[in-house]
């Protein structure tokens, strides 16, 4: 199948492209100028359409014989002065792509959402993911929405930040009591679902929540990451209000590792029962120990 893939140059997308290729699909990737290098090794095997969502009219005629749209575009940090907002990148972008799919007669649409997508979330990230889902559901497209939890894999920014901090700072800061629970999921468990959804019609019109088989607190996860590296994390607890004010002050600095929205998401504790996902897709859940070992391997 020819898949129009957006967000293919990101962490998840660059792990998904080889899986799509292995399954015999042809990714036709919308890539912004300058981002091609992020997927350099696949350039001979994929088609590139150069552009961004806002210049749709300049590239949409290049879309030929597309069988499905897969939308991965998303952000974790807003820059409102540059028009980079959750609403723009999650909701409006999905609306543009869904309308485009209908215009060019493509029925199948696979949407990357996120666990915790809800109109009541404290984070704009999750509220706008929900708005995007709502829009899709009201269309006549054959949609499938996947809502993964935090995705663990090689090249994950969070794992890199944690390991860098462990190596460079004497103490590891934990936001609040660190007891809020998480359910990270292995990247291979998620890419497998995206690939299979293309050919598994049972998944049409369904929303799948995807969490890994292990649930633990944030504090425990930090210990498990340290353990996997043969180290011990010397943790220090930081008051939530302090971390939120620091994150707020550095919100618009790309190099600062945490945003207020991310803190809200952590504290909201997203976990789920993913049995339906693993059964419908016939995927074997990968335990966290194995995921983190893979993510840390050279
Ligand atoms: N990582 C996780 O744990 C996780 C968990 C649940 C859901 N998700 C969702 O999965 C998707 C991919 O996440 P990721 O971790 O792979 O993020 P990522 O590495 O930041 O990738 C984001 C992708 O979106 C593209 N993008 C960002 N801003 C754009 C814009 N203004 N116009 C066009 N494209 C733009 C990026 O393109 P450039 O390369 O050009 O910047 C990149 O291809 C997101 O929708 C995210 O919400 C991720």
Q: What whole-number distance in Å separates Cα of residue 76 and Cα of residue 78?
A: 7
**pLDDT greater than 80 at residue 168:** yes
- pLDDT of 249 reads 87
Q: What whole-number distance in Å separates Cα of residue 184 and Cα of residue 212?
A: 5
CA nearest 91: which of 54, 143, 135, 29? 135
pTM: 0.95
pLDDT digits (tens, 9 = 90+) for 239-294: 999 999 998 888 888 777 788 888 988 898 888 999 999 999 999 999 999 999 99
- pLDDT of 270 reads 85
Q: What whole-number distance in Å separates Cα of residue 151 and Cα of residue 210?
A: 9
Best residue for ligand 1 mutational test, from 4, 10, 40 (most atoms within 8 Å of Cβ): 10
Closest CA to ligand 1's atom 26: 73
Query: What Cα–Cα distance (Å) separates residue 272 from each residue in 114, 184, 220, 255, 277?
Result: 12, 11, 18, 31, 11
Give the number of the atom of ligand 1 that is nearest the alpha carbon of residue 14.
Answer: 16
**pLDDT greater than 80 at residue 191:** yes
Q: Looking up tokens 């996947």, which residue turns up?
A: 146
Cβ atoms of 214 and 183 closer than 8 Å: yes
The SS3 of residue 6 is strand
Q: What does the pLDDT average to over 55-70? A: 96
Best residue for ligand 1 mutational test, from 27, 74, 97 (most atoms within 8 Å of Cβ): 74
Q: What does the pLDDT average to over 105-132? A: 97
Domain boundaries, the chain: 2-153+184-212+270-286
Query: What Cα–Cα distance (Å) separates residue 187 from each residue in 163, 201, 287?
Result: 18, 22, 11
Q: For ligand 1, which residues put their CB under 6 angstroms from it?
A: 7-13, 32, 35, 38, 52-53, 72-75, 84, 89, 112, 114, 148, 150-151
Give the number of the atom of ligand 1 that is nearest the alpha carbon of residue 12.
Answer: 16
Give the number of the atom of ligand 1 that is nearest the alpha carbon of residue 8.
Answer: 43
Closest CA to ligand 1's atom 32: 52
Query: What Cα–Cα distance (Å) separates residue 12 from each residue in 7, 166, 253, 294?
Result: 8, 24, 23, 15
2-153+184-212+270-286: CATH topology is Rossmann fold (3.40.50)
Question: How far is the centre of ligand 1, averaged over its atoms, from the C-alpha of 72 (Å)?
Answer: 6
pLDDT digits (tens, 9 = 90+) for 11-44: 999 999 999 999 999 999 999 999 999 999 999 9
Kindly provide the b/e burial profile for residues 230-261, where b requires at least 16 CB atoms within 10 angstroms of the residue's own CB: eeebeeeeeeeeebbebbeeeeeeeeebbbbb
Q: What whole-number distance in Å separates Cα of residue 34 and Cα of residue 186?
A: 28
């Amino acid at each position: 199948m020819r898949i129009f893939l957006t967000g293919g140059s990101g962490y998840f997308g660059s792990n998904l492209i080889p899986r799509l290729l292995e399954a015999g699909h042809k990714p036709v990737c919308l890539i912004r100028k300058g981002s091609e290098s992020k997927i350099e090794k696949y350039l001979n095997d994929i088609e590139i359409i150069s552009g961004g969502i806002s210049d749709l009219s300049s590239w949409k005629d290049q879309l030929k014989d597309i069988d499905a749209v897969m939308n991965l575009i998303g952000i974790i940090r807003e820059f409102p002065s540059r028009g980079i907002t959750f609403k723009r990148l999650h909701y409006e972008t999905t609306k543009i792509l869904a309308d485009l799919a209908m215009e060019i007669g493509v029925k199948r649409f696979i949407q990357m959402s996120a666990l915790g997508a809800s109109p009541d979330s404290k984070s704009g990230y999750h509220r706008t993911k929900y708005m995007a889902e709502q829009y899709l559901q009201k269309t006549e497209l054959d949609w499938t929405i996947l809502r993964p939890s935090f995705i663990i894999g090689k090249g994950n920014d969070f794992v890199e930040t944690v390991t860098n901090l462990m190596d460079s700072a004497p103490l590891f800061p934990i936001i609040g009591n660190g007891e809020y629970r998480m359910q990270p999921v292995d990247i291979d468990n998620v890419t497998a679902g995206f690939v299979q959804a293309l050919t598994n019609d049972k998944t049409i019109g369904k929303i799948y929540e995807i969490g890994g088989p292990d649930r633990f607190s944030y504090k425990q996860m930090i210990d498990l990451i340290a353990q996997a590296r043969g180290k011990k994390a010397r943790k220090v607890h930081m008051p939530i209000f302090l971390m939120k004010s620091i994150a707020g002050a550095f919100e618009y600095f790309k190099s600062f590792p945490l945003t207020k929205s991310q803190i809200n998401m952590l504290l909201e504790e997203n976990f789920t029962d993913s049995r339906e996902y693993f059964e419908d897709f016939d995927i074997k859940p990968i335990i966290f120990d194995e995921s983190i070992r893979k993510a840390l391997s050279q």
